[in-house]
A and B are shown apart, each in its own frame.
Chain A
């Protein structure tokens, strides 16, 4: 079954404690991206990757890092989380930026 898998689904952490949210897709897609969703603001793109070892900033990259060492995986790293990074995060993949995107299940992160 074609899918994008994010883990964990829910996470409560404390300010400053490094965390990683994993994202994996099984569709051999080249394009992957991370979004955060906040009430009233829609989905905002954090980072995207056009292919292995090619990543770039989206609209709201501050406080986040990503890596793309393998085509299927695109982890999101918060080196020092802060409360303003409390949000719902989605990973998505597609064959290209302007084709249908497939979204993961979402990760609800709370930073206290």
Chain B
């Protein structure tokens, strides 16, 4: 079983704060790194899928970076809003290409 770690486990911020969290994954046999947003009582929804070292992706106020050589990805949220409150999951895909291994998630709570 591959080791995919996310930190912190939970995070409380005030509305308007910018925040970031980390996903660490094996640096060998890398194929893809996924980020998902999971709101309470809903299904996880894809934010980004990144495959190249140095990739940066952006969707509105959310962006992500990827370093495959050292095995980490950062997710940034600029100017957090209460509607950003959710659990953010990363998932590692290896080059055998058959499975995704998820991290434990970072639970973000944004206070108005």
Contacts and interface: CB of A to CB of B under 8 A. Distances in A.
Interface of A: 4, 33, 35, 40-45, 48, 50, 56, 58-59, 90, 96-106
Contacts, number: 62
Interface residues of B, number: 25
Main secondary structure of the interface of B (DSSP, over half): strand
B52 interface: no
Contact of A43 (B1, B31, B32, B102): B102
Interface of B: 1, 6, 31-32, 34, 36, 42-46, 49, 51, 89, 91, 93, 97-105
Q: Interface centre among A35, A50, A103, by most B CB within 10 Å?
A: A103
Given A48-B99, A50-B98, A59-B1, A100 B44 contact: no
B97 A98 contact: yes
16 contacts: A42-B105, A43-B102, A44-B102, A45-B99, A45-B101, A56-B98, A58-B99, A90-B43, A98-B31, A98-B32, A98-B93, A101-B34, A101-B44, A103-B44, A105-B42, A106-B43
